[in-house]
Amino acid sequence: MTDLGERMHALVRRLYPLCRSITGDGVRETLAVVGEQLPLTVHEVPTGTRVLDWTVPREWNIRDAYVADATGRRVVDFRESNLHVVGYSVPVHTRMPLTELRRHLHTLPDQPDLVPYRTSYYAPTWGFCLAQSTLDALPDGEYEVFIDATLADGSLTYAEHVVPGQVEDEVLVSCHVCHPSLANDNLAGIAVAVQLALSLENPYHTYRFVFAPGTIGAITWLARNRGRIERVRHGVVLACAGDRGSLTYKQSRRGDAPVDRVFRHVLAGRPHEIRAFSPYGYDERQYCSPGFDLGVGSLTRTPYAGYPEYHTSGDDPDFVTGESMVDTLRVLQEAFAVLDRDRAYVNLSPYGEPQLGRRGLYDSLGGRSDAHDAQLAMLWVLNLSDGTHSLLDVAERAGLPFGAVATAADALRDAGLLKEA
């Protein structure tokens, strides 16, 4: 467990310095690193491509940027942190007094030692982000302003990793790759998604992992997959997966989708929060838009905007922990195990209780510490296996762990007492 957490934390640390945005080489570099651990299919969608009601924007790349004082000293330096430049800033090289420069500077007065994260994707402008304490220390005078960036026709980049299942019905796992140096939002989500994909072995459903820029990336994926969207039976958007807060599950637009019910079941008995859907947040709002209305929820620890470090330089690798990422991973694995295993059965001996002893089913429980629950699970499965109750129905009604109910169903099926509905 410690080793697994360290592997995820090491990936966060490695990805942290890369300057990501909704397009550009930072996204490609990020996907190249992920591709060292997972085979990826990388897609490049040209600038100007119509995607639903949107258009793929021009590609942004940046090489250097700074604000320098009269001595040439860089008082704000992109090389120290890529958060120092407003995302999608147009190129600029000029000199101006501090009074004029202030209009292009962004700070957090209530968090004076933190640098904010700001973007301007669709309104050409430029700007710098810095700590309020740094701004307060700047003397009046003239400053050199330099942003070596390009905003030109290119493409939007996203990637997919598919784990084939026994059926073509899919579970979608989506995380965004557009944020620069922000460890919890969303590098921890990327790290957890990678380990989740690596852990899947011969799953029932096909699992599709989408690594895409937020909003425009999910919209682009949906636009390019409209012809096969009906295969997506369940899904989760993964973000903020590594902070020390308890887990929060945000339900799909439907509110009663199978994935919603599964996460409510898996999270029961541990500190957590279940939130109703709202059209604000991460890319669940794209997958749950009314034209698609997919059964896709969102799993985070502390939700977006719910912690002081959110979208600031305080969201660094020290803010996330391997233990928290492992915990997030375990809950996802448990939830997907339920999704993969949940189905309805028919009792083939429905008239009275079948004799379990002569089939060796009671003997198989001898010496088990959970023998009572295992026996109870068999009786509940037999009683409710009328073709209309799923194993999750049984677990919830009986108040038993899903795993115990699924194990009982396997034993009863192998003994010839059950068949799938």
pLDDT in tens, 374-420: 889 999 999 999 999 999 999 999 999 999 999 999 999 999 999 99
pLDDT digits (tens, 9 = 90+) for 313-367: 999 999 999 999 999 999 999 999 999 999 999 999 999 999 888 888 876 555 5
Q: Are 240 and 49 in contact (CB under 8 A)?
A: no
Distance CA 84, CA 297 (A): 33
Residue 140 C-beta-side C-alpha neighbours within 13 Å:
1
What structural domains and CATH numbers belong to the chain? 2-57+155-340 (3.40.630.10), 59-152 (3.50.30.90), 344-420 (1.10.10.10)
Burial annotation 281-302 (CB, 10 A radius, 16+ → b, else e)? bbbbbbbbbeebebbbbbbbbb
List the one residue out of 409, 413, 411, 412 whose CA is nearest residue 400.
409
Mean pLDDT confidence for 150-172: 98
pLDDT at 369: 56
Give φ, ψ of 57 to 5 degrees: -80, 175
Angle between helices 322-341 and 258-267 in degrees, nearest 10: 130
The closest of 256, 268, 408, 244 to 335, measured between CA atoms, is: 268
What are 367-379's pLDDT values in tens digits? 555 677 888 999 9
The pLDDT of residue 337: 97
Residues 254-269, mean pLDDT to the nearest whole number: 96
416: left (phi over 0), alpha (psi -120 to 50) or beta: left
Helices (H), 161-273: 188-199, 216-224, 258-267
Tokens of 27: 């996204």
> Token pair for residue 72?
């040439």
- What type of residue sits at position 6? E
Amino acid 370: pLDDT: 64
Model pLDDT for residues 273-288, shown as the tens digit of each residue: 999 999 999 999 999 9
Give the pLDDT of residue 274: 98
Among 114, 55, 112, 124, CA closest to 86: 124
The pLDDT, as a whole number, for residue 32 is 98
Rounded Cα distance between 300 and 328, Å, is 8
Q: Does the pLDDT of residue 59 top 70, yes or no?
A: yes
Model confidence pLDDT, tens digit, residues 118-147: 999 999 999 999 999 999 999 999 999 999
Q: Nearest to residue 397, comparing CAs of 376, 372, 420? A: 376
Region 27-49: mean pLDDT is: 98
pLDDT interval class at 218 (50, 70, 90): very high
The predicted model scores a pTM of 0.95
Between vectors from CA 329 to CA 255 and to CA 164, what angle results, nearest 5°?
A: 80
Q: What is the pLDDT of residue 119?
A: 97
pLDDT for position 365? 54
Q: What is the pLDDT of residue 15?
A: 98
Q: What angle do CA 14, 19, 23 make, to 5 degrees?
A: 120
